[in-house]
Amino acid sequence: MMGTKRARWFSPTLTPYLLVLPVLLYYAAFWLQPVVTVVIQSFRDPVTGAFTLNNFALVLQDKDFWPAFWNTFIIVSISVALEFVVALALSLLIYRRFWGSGIFFFLMLIPMALPPVATGAIWKTGLTAHGWLNSLLIHLGVLAEGKKIYWLGTPRTPKWQLLTLIILVDAWTVIPSVMVILVAGLQNLPREVIEAGYVFGGTYWRVLRDIILPMLRPTIQTAVVLRLISAIQIWLIIVLLFGFSRVPVLVERIVYYHEEVRGLDIAPAMTTGYTVIVAFIVSAAALLYLYLSGAFEGEKAS
Amino acid sequence: MAEVQLINLTKRFGRRVLAVDHIHLTVKDREFLVLLGPSGCGKTTTLRMIAGLEEVSEGTILIDGEDVTYLPPRARNVSMVFQNYAVWPHMTVYENIAYPLRLKKVPRDEIDRRVKEVAELTKIAELLDRYPSQLSGGQQQRVALARAIAVKPKVFLMDEPLSNLDAKLRVHMRTELKAIHHQTQATTIFVTHDQSEAMSMADRIVVMREGRIEQVGTPEEVYEKSANMFVASFIGLPPTNFFYTEVRRENDALKLVHPYFTLTLSPEQAARLKDYTKSRLVLGVRPENLLLTTEDQALFSVEAMVVEPQGSHQIIAFQMDDQIVKIVAPAYPKVWPGERIHVTFRPERIRFFDPETQQAVGDEA
Amino acid sequence: MMDPKIQYRLRKAARQMLLYLVVLTITLVIMTPVYFITVLSFLTTREAYEYPLPLYPTFTIRMKMERGKRGYLLSVWDRNEQAYVSVLDTDDADKMRVYMETYLGLKPSNEQVTEVMQKVDATGGQPVYFAWRRHILSNYATFFRVTRDAVPALIRSLQIAALTIAISLSIGGAAGYAFARYRFYGKNALKFSVLFVRMFPGVAIAIPMVIILARIGLYDRPAGLSLLYSVGVIGMTVWITASIFMAIPVSLEEAAMVFGATRLQAFLRITLPLAFPGLAAAAMYAFIGAWNETVAAIILTEFNPTFSVVVYQTLLGATGQVNLTAAGGMAMALPAVVFTFFIRRYIHQMWGGVTV
Ligand SMILES: Nc1ncnc2c1ncn2[C@@H]1O[C@H](COP(=O)(O)OP(=O)(O)OP(=O)(O)O)[C@@H](O)[C@H]1O
Ligand SMILES: [Mg+2]
């Protein structure tokens, strides 16, 4: 019989590996290869190809490196916290299932679905002095006729205002994608287990704190780590709003040196140097978060 | 301890679904009451309304005379054992039992004492440090039970707590639950759709169908004196056999004519049916009340179709036109399929039903 | 003492009110920007540069023509001023037509313009009032007409998305199935790979990819981009498909195998049809990912930009008028939003099965 013969060499224990193999090959070709390439490059002199740490030194000496680092740091730490809290609140709201919650959920998803360029278009047209936001304020009577607020700032605007604006715009864009994960996690919690909390004397807040959130922990870790990883890589919305170099952030520097000042002779060194440094920061932050939040311990227990 | 009263209790889901339909019920203090009925008849919904997990559409719930209809679950002093146990997976067994007590602000040493006590009672004392994921289904079930007992509620609510256990453990847990009830003396409302579970555990059984109560009574009452054809067929395995007959009244005698037999009722039975004026009547006869007899004493004779030996007894099925009738007979003499059997009724155990209303008729007042 | 029932109803009503107030506020916060970009995409160029911007678009342009100093004076009804505002004074019908086309979104012929001018002459200089309808989608049509490359870029973007779906669903789906059905060594590593792959900035992969793709002749080609996009999407597809397959009981497949089907047949005949809606959702998710991506596309295209790059350029550079840029952004957003509408029911399934 064909079937049995085949079964002998096509061992069932091998099947999962065969199914997973394409992914591994794919990652090797189109993820590992570029990663290795860029890491090697970052240790090489762009001209001679000799081993050097000069690229990193150049980056660290870049006058925009530390501003970019701190801007990124501030944006990430505030926005991840803010987005998580708001997304959690919203997902608990949607979990209640009120009349119209389905439509509400869909509307909430729209900012997530929007392409970054569309988001850029929305806020660029909204935040300019003659944009729709000021127009709306005039129509509402909040702003006097003909007056305007310079949301995007003037050269003298303090930096924290610009950062606040970036954080708010980013929150508008990103909260839905955090919320989606949390809603899914909530909906997958067994209902009775939560109800048991109420029956045995819990108020909403106690049940939330002692039962819902602990059970949601793996979901929360997933949502936060994904968010953390992409928050550190913020740049496009900033460039669309402010252009290059006005509010430097780490990834923006990579694109800046790769696209905007290609001709510059330090550009290749800067590009690879920044790339590897950013990758290092993202990985370190994600692993640190997972470690601190106890995701690895859970791995061992189960 | 507590008495639970449901007055006109109703639950609608949207416009269409009437899950619980104006029921009236009083659960006595210390009683073990079983809600029994087919799937979707509203048992869970009733229980959840009593627990406060489901908003009441109409009616009132009283616990110990106090109106709790609009109180949140935590203010009702009830505890519940859920069908899927609903133990908290992120807490150890100890914490699972202790948490409700902590919520009720019981002092620490009192908590410890009570946890140990109920763990002893439910035989999980050596599992206190484990997490639910490290327990078997039966053990989780005991944890759920221990948690419910520890809070010393006024009322216990149990929603098919045994349905996820294997058959042997299920029977074993029945006995234990009864024993625990005996010890705690807590008013208990127990939901099941397993009639043998209901029969073996209940002080009283409430039979429900489509959101309505069909009959309330002791296990004997609902079995022997089923209030209608639904209860008669739902309770008992195999179910009650029904024979549709024509009523003939001759002088004072009452004759019931069936294509296979004509049954003359005793004067007492006839007297009880004297107010019944309709021309058709249904005879309800439980399988053990159909007797095998000799040919000359037989009401009718048929051919046995299927015989299921059960050890202590045998179940004989035969066909009457398109109806299958079952007899529960002693294991001996053995009957073989195809054998001609002679059947009569145990006359005093016959029940009568009105085929139109499906209700029992001719019961003593 | 108040009746507990009334008390309960009141409390509930109050809670409901609060709930809907919150929901309404959030909806406003989310929808206001979306609303305005939509309005903007329908405004005429003249209106788009007005301040304050109008709150809603109109498609009927009310105009007035009379004798002017240099010929004919065209005025347009201004909603802010609530009056006709003079905009152009010329005797050149062609100039007048071009103005209408560029600033008012109208598409009159020279004859139509001349006709109005003649009417002005006939009335002896009295103003002539007239209203013309413009096409609702005129900005969108104009965007695709005036933006270099917009149409071919749109086609390329669709190709890229289709290819990304094919790659990620076949490769990632297989792994997702293995994930749901088998225990194997390295399962956890695979689970984490989604994260690891993302930890390296997309830009950081795109840059060396230039060389790799150039080597295999796919630089600046749709296929090259979809190869890159699939790296990010595959991991997510593994997660999503794994949780979809987990939701389908193995027993169904086993039942089929009991009746003589091979594992492959069981998969094709039983699991795949059941998983289809979920897989379609995963495909749409991949589509959205590929369609929306901009960063790598900027780096990896030169002469063959994707649609998102085209919109990015009109947005960043001075190439576009605001209303046309808005139209481009809306054209970009529409497919993603529509697909999101379809996949919203699957979201809890997509994210359900796997967590870190
Ligand atoms: N949340 C709900 N929304 C709509 N209908 C519901 C809801 N919960 C229950 N129902 C309906 O109400 C009726 C009673 O349901 P209930 O769960 O009380 O039945 P049950 O007697 O417990 O059945 P089972 O033995 O299957 O558990 C059913 O028809 C069910 O479909
Ligand atoms: Mg039920």
Contacts 24+ apart (CB under 8 A), A235-240: A235/C203, A235/C295, A236/A116, A236/A120, A236/C294, A236/C295, A237/A116, A237/A119, A237/A120, A237/A123, A237/A166, A237/A169, A237/A170, A237/A173, A238/A166, A239/C316, A240/A116, A240/A117, A240/A120, A240/A123, A240/A124, A240/C312, A240/C315, A240/C316
Q: In terms of CA atoms, which chain C residue is nearest residue B59?
A: C5
Say how far apart CA A277 and CA B186 lie, in whole Å.
Answer: 67
- Name which residue sits closest to atom 19 of ligand 1, judged by CA: B40
Residue A241 has pLDDT above 60, yes or no: yes
Residue C2 has pLDDT above 70, yes or no: no
DSSP bridge pairs for B250: B253
pLDDT value of residue A213: 95
Say how far apart CA C333 and CA C312 lie, in whole Å.
Answer: 13
Specify the DSSP class assigned to residue B6. Answer: E
Same domain, C322 and C206: yes
Residue A286 has pLDDT above 70, yes or no: yes
Handedness of CA A109, A110, A113, A118 (dihedral sign): negative
User: Which residue in the block uniquely carries the two structure tokens 């309404």?
Assistant: C24
**What domains does chain B contain, in order, with CATH numbers?**
4-234 (3.40.50.300), 241-361 (2.40.50.140)
Set of chain A residues whose Cβ sits within 8 Å of the Cβ of B100 = 200-201
Same domain, C88 and C206: no
- Name which residue sits closest to atom 29 of ligand 1, judged by CA: B40
User: Are B341 and B303 spatial neighbours (Cβ–Cβ below 8 Å)?
Assistant: yes
Set of chain C residues whose Cβ sits within 8 Å of the Cβ of B57 = none
Residue, of C352 and C238, whose pLDDT is higher: C238
| Substitution site in B34, B35, B43 for ligand 1 pocket (most atoms within 8 Å of beta carbon) | B43
Show the tokens assigned to A225.
Answer: 């780590």
- For residue B208, give the ligand 1 atom closest to its CA: 21
Largest CA distance in chain C: 95
Q: Measuring CA to CA, which residue among B168, B174, B208 is closest to residue B39?
A: B208
With respect to residue C55, please indicate whether it lies within any of the assigned structural domains: no
Which amino acid is it at A15? T
Say yes or no for a CB contact (<8 Å) between A107 and C31: yes
Residue A8 has pLDDT above 60, yes or no: no
| Tens-digit pLDDT string for chain B (365 aa) | 689 999 999 999 988 899 999 999 999 999 999 999 999 999 999 999 999 999 999 999 999 999 999 999 999 999 999 988 899 999 999 999 999 999 999 999 999 999 999 998 888 999 999 999 999 888 998 899 899 999 989 999 999 988 877 888 888 888 888 988 998 888 999 999 888 899 999 999 999 999 999 999 999 999 999 999 999 999 988 999 999 999 988 877 888 999 999 998 888 888 888 888 889 999 999 999 999 999 888 999 999 999 999 889 999 999 988 899 999 999 888 899 999 999 999 988 899 999 999 999 887 65
Residue C319 has pLDDT above 70, yes or no: no
- Name which residue sits closest to atom 3 of ligand 1, judged by CA: B13
The chain-wide mean pLDDT, for chain C, equals 87
Ligand 1-lining residues (CB < 6 angstroms): B 13, 17, 19, 37, 39-45, 193
Boundary residue ending a domain (C86, C102, C134): C134
Q: Who contacts B37 (Cβ-Cβ below 8 Å, separation ≥6)?
A: B43, B193, B207, B208, B209, B214, B234
Set of chain C residues whose Cβ sits within 8 Å of the Cβ of A108 = 26, 30
pLDDT value of residue A4: 42
User: What SS3 class is residue B7?
Assistant: strand
Cβ pairs A/C, distance under 8 A = 283
With respect to residue C52, please indicate whether it lies within any of the assigned structural domains: no
User: B79 touching A, CB under 8 A?
Assistant: yes
pLDDT value of residue A160: 92
pLDDT value of residue A177: 87
Residue C353 has pLDDT above 80, yes or no: no
Same domain, C191 and C309: yes
End-to-end alpha-carbon separation of chain B, Å?
33
Span from the CA of C252 to the centroid of ligand 2 (angstroms): 25
A175: how many CB neighbours lie within 10 A of its CB?
28
Q: Measuring CA to CA, which residue among B201, B151, B134, B141 is closest to residue B171?
A: B201
Show the tokens assigned to B65.
Answer: 């005379």
Q: Measuring CA to CA, which residue among B324, B304, B161, B310 is closest to residue B242?
A: B324
* Domains of chain C: total: 3
pLDDT value of residue A3: 40
- Name which residue sits closest to atom 1 of ligand 1, judged by CA: B13
Same domain, C100 and C180: no
Which H or E element spans position B80? strand B78-81
Q: In terms of CA atoms, which chain A residue is nearest residue C285?
A: A113
Same domain, C155 and C244: yes
Q: Who contacts A28 (Cβ-Cβ below 8 Å, separation ≥6)?
A: none
Same domain, C213 and C348: yes
Say yes or no for a CB contact (<8 Å) between C177 and A19: yes
Cβ pairs B/C, distance under 8 A = 8
Same domain, C83 and C155: no
Residue C85 has pLDDT above 50, yes or no: yes
With respect to residue C54, please indicate whether it lies within any of the assigned structural domains: no
Same domain, C129 and C165: no
Say how far apart CA C94 and CA C111 lie, in whole Å.
Answer: 9
User: What SS3 class is residue B233?
Assistant: helix
Q: What residues of chain C have any CB closer than 8 angstroms to a CB in chain B?
A: 4-5, 7-8
Q: Who contacts A97 (Cβ-Cβ below 8 Å, separation ≥6)?
A: none
pLDDT value of residue A96: 84
Set of chain A residues whose Cβ sits within 8 Å of the Cβ of B53 = 195, 198-199
With respect to residue C344, please indicate whether it lies within any of the assigned structural domains: yes
Same domain, C151 and C224: yes
DSSP bridge pairs for B189: B33, B157
- Name which residue sits closest to atom 7 of ligand 1, judged by CA: B13
The chain-wide mean pLDDT, for chain A, equals 88
Cα A244 from chain centre? 20
How far is B70 from chain C, CA to nearest CA, in Å?
A: 6
Span from the CA of B92 to the centroid of ligand 2 (angstroms): 27
Same domain, C115 and C34: no
Same domain, C343 and C219: yes
Burial C277-287 (b: 16+ CB within 10 A, else e): ebbebbbbbbb
Q: Residue B334: left if φ>0, alpha if ψ -120 to 50, beta else—which one?
A: beta
What fold does the segment set A51-97+159-293 form as a domain? Answer: MetI-like fold (1.10.3720)
Handedness of CA B136, B141, B142, B147 (dihedral sign): positive
Say how far apart CA B282 and CA B351 lie, in whole Å.
Answer: 8
With respect to residue C306, please indicate whether it lies within any of the assigned structural domains: yes
State the ligand closest to the CA atom of B21: 1
CB-nearest partner of C205 from A35, A100, A126: A35
With respect to residue C53, please indicate whether it lies within any of the assigned structural domains: no
Cα B108 from chain centre? 40
Residue A121 has pLDDT above 60, yes or no: yes
Range of C27's domain? 4-45
Each residue of C249-274: pLDDT tens digit? Answer: 888 888 888 888 887 888 888 888 88
End-to-end alpha-carbon separation of chain C, Å?
53
The enclosing domain of C210 has a CATH number of 1.10.3720.10
User: Which residue in the block uniquely carries the two structure tokens 């796997």?
Assistant: C354
Residue B91: HSE in the Cβ half-sphere, 13 Å Cα cutoff:
21
Span from the CA of B46 to the centroid of ligand 2 (angstroms): 9
pLDDT value of residue B1: 62
Q: To probe the interface with C, which of A37, A132, A134, A216 has the most C CB atoms within 10 Å?
A: A132
- Name which residue sits closest to atom 11 of ligand 1, judged by CA: B19
User: Are B262 and B338 spatial neighbours (Cβ–Cβ below 8 Å)?
Assistant: no
Boundary residue ending a domain (C75, C109, C134): C134
With respect to residue C139, please indicate whether it lies within any of the assigned structural domains: no
Residue C189 binned pLDDT confidence (cut-offs 50, 70, 90): confident
pLDDT value of residue A2: 40
Boundary residue ending a domain (C134, C162, C177): C134
Set of chain A residues whose Cβ sits within 8 Å of the Cβ of B158 = none
Say yes or no for a CB contact (<8 Å) between B84 and A192: yes
User: Which residue in the block uniquely carries the two structure tokens 């969108």?
Assistant: C140
With respect to residue C51, please indicate whether it lies within any of the assigned structural domains: no
How far is A97 from chain C, CA to nearest CA, in Å?
A: 11
Which H or E element spans position A5? helix A2-9
Q: Measuring CA to CA, which residue among A252, A221, A256, A250 is closest to residue A72?
A: A250
User: Which residue in the block uniquely carries the two structure tokens 């795109």?
Assistant: C206
CA separation (Å) from C172 to A25, C17, C87, C196, C238?
12, 45, 59, 16, 5
Same domain, C277 and C167: yes
Span from the CA of B165 to the centroid of ligand 1 (angstroms): 22
Residue A162 has pLDDT above 80, yes or no: yes
